[in-house]
Amino acid sequence: MWGIDFSEEGSSVFAIGSVDKQNDGAKISYIAKAANVQHVKDDIYLVTYAFQSGDQLQLTITKKTVDYNYHFPGTTTENQIIVAIFNGETLDLIASDISIQPRAEENKLYTVTNLHTTSAGDFNGTIGRVPLLK
């Protein structure tokens, strides 16, 4: 369904890219230290970005179709973002999405994040070399 195979957890540290937080004070760029997409149960997955600054962004998503895009809000029949958490705090999402695209030649995923919140600003960026974990 993902277009790639599962990887070893240790490959999470090869992620590369950044996510910018903006529109809530000064723009802050978070540089990836590690990232992965991990199967939780059934069609639920956890996307985790760990940044060099020690900050962490996690998205709980559902994978219902082979489509690469996940939306908030979404419907129960499509891929959707269920919740987003930044440093342990739940983000109050408004129309947001993430694209998770397979890179078969790397056996990794490429992610494009476009999250909008009502009080924490926007999180936009790309992170590649993201492994799929069991």
How far apart CA 104 and CA 80 sit, in angstroms, is 23
Give domain status of residue 52, yes or no.
yes
- CATH number at 115 reads 2.40.128
Calculate mean pLDDT across residues 92-97.
98
The string of pLDDT tens digits covering residues 77-94 is: 999 999 999 999 999 999
Give domain status of residue 4, yes or no.
no
pTM of the model: 0.96
Calculate mean pLDDT across residues 7-11.
95
Which pLDDT belongs to residue 25? 86
Calculate mean pLDDT across residues 10-32.
96
CA-based R_g, the chain, Å: 14
71 neighbors 96 (Cβ within 8 angstroms) = yes
Average pLDDT of the chain is: 96
Give domain status of residue 41, yes or no.
yes
Which pLDDT belongs to residue 24? 86
Structural domain count, the chain: 1
